[in-house]
Amino acid sequence: MDKKRVVVALGGNAILSKDASAEAQQAALRDTSKYLVEFVKKGNELIISHGNGPQVGNLLLQQTAGSTKDNPAMPLDTDVSMTQGSIGYWLQNAMGTELKKAGIDKPVATVVTQVVVDEADEAFKNPTKPIGPFYDEKGMQQQKLEHPEYEFVEDAGRGFRRVVPSPKPIDVVESDVVEIMVKNKIIPISVGGGGVPVIKTTNSLVGKEAVIDKDFASEKLAEKVNADMLVILTAVDNVYINFNKPNQKKLEKINIAELKTYIKVGQFAKGSMLPKVEAAIDFVQNTKNGSAIITSLQNVGKFLEDGSGTIIVK
């Protein structure tokens, strides 16, 4: 692969599976960093983004459980910024170690990133973004008793999760900062958790209680910094049609028109693969020569060597 400017979007579930301790998440990110460093070894300009759905949901639970009049729980936009800081700290620490092992002298730094959304976005009336842990039916009902204002959905056959508004990103406030960092050979970690959702007023940016989808935020950032490539990492090496059926078929190199046809017939699950496919299409459509890749973290080496994965082109 030729040297490129690459935004790599890492899922929140890749950082946290079942063990929510700091130690377990740090260990996961140490493993993750071994793969991400491969992009740098090839000479690419790397920009990292990440999700935070499990982490921000867990932080909300911790805050709610300990909330008092004198020490109240923080609003959701602030919780997003807090997880940007904690995951960013773990990730920049792990990346620093792996870069040194590889003999690469490059600093890594986290940008607490604000992402502009529209106050009139219909998402504020229709929460769809899953956050926090999975519950069985009994656990979900107990949560509703304790927090009647919470809304829950069944998520990808794995249980029930709380859902919050997920407005579409319009702009990335700190994209110029990210650009400056890349030009100065710094690896930025940006739009963590989809970025802190803010709305623009005359002179201010005002936080909104929501969680932006990290794939759409990563796409918007990739556009703003003129990236050559958007890499969305997920649990599988390729996107499939007829997924988990006897006639499933993996998609390799595919154009936008074909993907849109598959979307129309409902080939991609709303809570998991669909936003990744839609973000990939947006990036390819909105850039001159950009390409988007959807693959797994474990497949990064093969992708860099021989283009293995699902590659979306115009």
Catalytic (active-site) positions: 12-13, 129, 214, 276
Buried b (16+ CB within 10 A) or exposed e, 291-311: bbbbbbbebbeebbeeebbbb
Q: Using CA atoms, how far apart are residues 293 and 308, in angstroms rounded to an integer?
A: 9
Question: How far, CA to CA in Å, does 15 sit from each of 21, 50, 55, 160?
Answer: 11, 9, 9, 20
Q: Using CA atoms, how far apart are residues 168 and 216, in angstroms rounded to an integer?
A: 7
Per DSSP, the residues of 88-157 read: HHHHHHHHHHHHHHTT----EEE---EEE--TT-GGGTS--EEEEEEE-HHHHHHHHHH-TT-EEEE-TT
Q: How many CB atoms lie within 10 A of CB 9?
A: 29
Q: Using CA atoms, how far apart are residues 42 and 239, in angstroms rounded to an integer?
A: 25
- Alpha carbon of residue 266 to chain centroid: 22
Alpha helix segments (H runs only) across the chain:
22-41, 53-65, 76-101, 137-146, 175-183, 214-224, 256-264, 273-286, 300-306
Q: What are phi and psi for residue 215, nearest 5 degrees?
A: -70, -40
